[in-house]
Structure 1
């Protein structure tokens, strides 16, 4: 399996694409927006404050495109951005320490130790994430690895909803806890009805696998993923 260097976060890449499209240099952008100088060139996440500064600088940007790369870069019409407070769901991702607002975020990697945290009756989430479009999720956690790139990137956070084997929609992405491993893959039927096929998106570096259904301890629908912003 090939080792890969950490890549620039998708949100940063999209900000750079927006600036390129507008013919704005990074120097001009930093000067006019107040975004932390040099942050776009660093291979790490981007803070909520810097995202807010970018959105104030670029009111025409499509927030869904900025966060997920889906849709058009420029939003249709002139709808104002709705910024979250303690009673509304935010159009941009924010965090809340109010347990009644948003969805719990656990600062743990799904691949490494997630089920111990999920099954704990005393574990407290690090914060709650508030973002429009992810209301179905029951929790957020971290994800590492490259097998689902470019759909889910190393260092992203993923929104999960617990489900059962009977709920599985073949061809969709699921986070699965098996008896000895945890994995995030596309699930499909196997010729053997007692098994499921686990299919990566990055087929250049990762192979398809099959596992017995009897080995599955827990299944979560992957509602979506975003670049970690806090």
Structure 2
């Protein structure tokens, strides 16, 4: 016979929360995104999920609910209990769909290079169509392409990437996240970290192949910065 006391209940609760947090990490990995981007998608303050994951503490139930609402491809039962399949077997109503009726976020046929190639195509001013996908139907979100292999396996050549322009100075943006960087000469997607050199930032590729190395660029070169919120390997 098991006697439940306050200590037992507390231990069970934190064990349950720990497994939910680990499944949230699985969703992040499967989406090819980051915990920071997930926090922005669900409207949580920076560090709400990452601190809970790192410290093994609990999170408010409203954030779990927001994850369920914004990532309908994943089973709520699996997220909460670990039972059943990770992804829902039936197609949810909010599966990615393209349309020309201004539903969702606009898609621009613009390549962000997974490297430092010169930009060959001009920045498109009108979207080709709209992608209606619940997690990314947010004000200011756009869809573009990524080409190249420097960010694999997080972001793959040919992926659709959801991005949002950041208006704060890059010095005050959360470091360690993935951003789209636009200069006069190129567009690139990299993880951004601080530099030891004043007025510079480090651009970090995910791919550890010797052909892809870290680079530092002066902040003065940067014209626009986009936070990469997530990606899709395919639309259908």
Aligned to 1:58: none
For residues 147-202 of structure 1, the C-alpha deviation after alignment (integer angstroms, 9 at most, x for no partner) is 00000000101011000325521000000002322210000000012100000000
Distance 1:114 1:139, change over 3 A: farther
Task: Supply the distance in 1 between the matched residues of 2:98 and 2:86 (Cα, whole angstroms).
Answer: 24
Answer yes or no: is the 8 Å Cα contact 1:140–1:157 preserved in 2.
yes
Aligned-pair CA distance for 1:135: 3.1
2:234 counterpart of 1:228: yes
Aligned to 1:161: 164
2:187 counterpart of 1:185: no
Question: Structure 2: 5+ residue runs without aligned partners?
Answer: 1-29, 31-71, 76-81, 114-118
Aligned to 1:194: 199
- Secondary structure of 2:147 counterpart: coil
Aligned-pair CA distance for 1:97: 1.1
For residues 43-87 of structure 1, the C-alpha deviation after alignment (integer angstroms, 9 at most, x for no partner) is xxxxxxxxxxxxxxxxxxx8349xxxxx998138x896531xxxx
What is the root-mean-square deviation in Å for CA atoms of aligned residues? 2.9
Answer yes or no: is the 8 Å Cα contact 1:147–1:206 preserved in 2.
yes
Aligned to 1:39: none
Answer yes or no: is the 8 Å Cα contact 2:104–2:136 preserved in 1.
no
- Secondary structure of 1:147 counterpart: coil
Answer yes or no: is the 8 Å Cα contact 1:195–1:210 preserved in 2.
yes
- Secondary structure of 1:98 counterpart: coil
Structure with greater proportional helix content: 2
Task: Supply the distance in 2 between the matched residues of 1:115 and 1:167 (Cα, whole angstroms).
Answer: 29
Distance 1:217 1:73, change over 3 A: farther
Question: Structure 1: 5+ residue runs without aligned partners?
Answer: 1-13, 15-61, 66-70, 84-89, 118-122
Counting matched residue pairs gives 151
Aligned to 1:150: 153
Aligned to 1:124: 126
Distance 1:222 1:167, change over 3 A: farther
Task: Supply the distance in 1 between the matched residues of 2:179 and 2:218 (Cα, whole angstroms).
Answer: 15
TM-score normalised per structure 2: 0.57
For residues 127-160 of structure 1, the C-alpha deviation after alignment (integer angstroms, 9 at most, x for no partner) is 1001121234521011100000000000101011
Answer yes or no: is the 8 Å Cα contact 1:115–1:177 preserved in 2.
no
Match of 1:176 among 157, 176, 181: 181
2:88 counterpart of 1:82: no
Aligned to 2:105: 103
Distance 1:130 1:167, change over 3 A: farther
Task: Supply the distance in 2 between the matched residues of 1:189 and 1:103 (Cα, whole angstroms).
Answer: 31
